[in-house]
C-alpha cells in the first residue's frame, strides 16, 4: 500500500484529496472507501495508507486506512 497525507476532506459531500509522499501525485477519494473506524476522525494532515486506480482526472483511492 502507498502512503500519503490528507490534503482536505469535506464531511458534507464526502469527498477528499490525498497527496502522495512525492508531494506531486493527487489521489481523490469518497468517504465510502474509508475504513469504518477512521471515517469520522479523518482530517487534514492525517497520514494514510491507500490503494488507488486511474480515475477520470486523477488517481482514485479504492481503499484508505489511517496510519
Task: Give the tens place of pLDDT for each residue, 44-54.
Answer: 999 999 999 99
* CA–CA dist 44, 54 (Å, integer): 23
Residue in this structure with the C-alpha cell 469527498, named with its chain if needed? 15
Domain tally, the chain: 1
Each residue of 57-66: pLDDT tens digit? 889 999 999 9
5: CB partners within 8 A, 6+ apart: 18, 19, 21, 45, 46, 47, 48
Helical segments of 1-67, H only: none
- In whole numbers, what is the pLDDT of the chain averaged over residues? 90
Q: Residue 54 maps to which CATH number?
A: 2.40.50.140
**Residue of higher predicted confidence among 8 and 11:** 8
Quote the pTM value: 0.88
Q: Residue 30: which domain range?
A: 2-66
Distance, in Å, from the CA atom of 26 to the CA atom of 61, rounded to the nearest integer, reads 10
Amino acid at each position: 500500500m502507498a502512503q500519503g497525507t490528507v490534503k482536505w476532506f469535506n464531511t458534507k459531500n464526502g469527498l477528499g484529496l490525498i497527496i502522495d509522499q512525492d508531494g506531486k501525485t493527487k489521489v481523490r477519494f469518497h468517504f465510502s472507501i474509508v475504513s469504518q473506524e477512521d471515517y469520522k476522525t479523518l482530517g487534514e494532515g492525517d497520514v494514510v495508507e491507500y490503494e488507488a486506480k486511474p480515475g477520470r482526472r486523477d488517481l482514485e483511492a479504492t481503499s484508505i486506512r489511517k496510519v
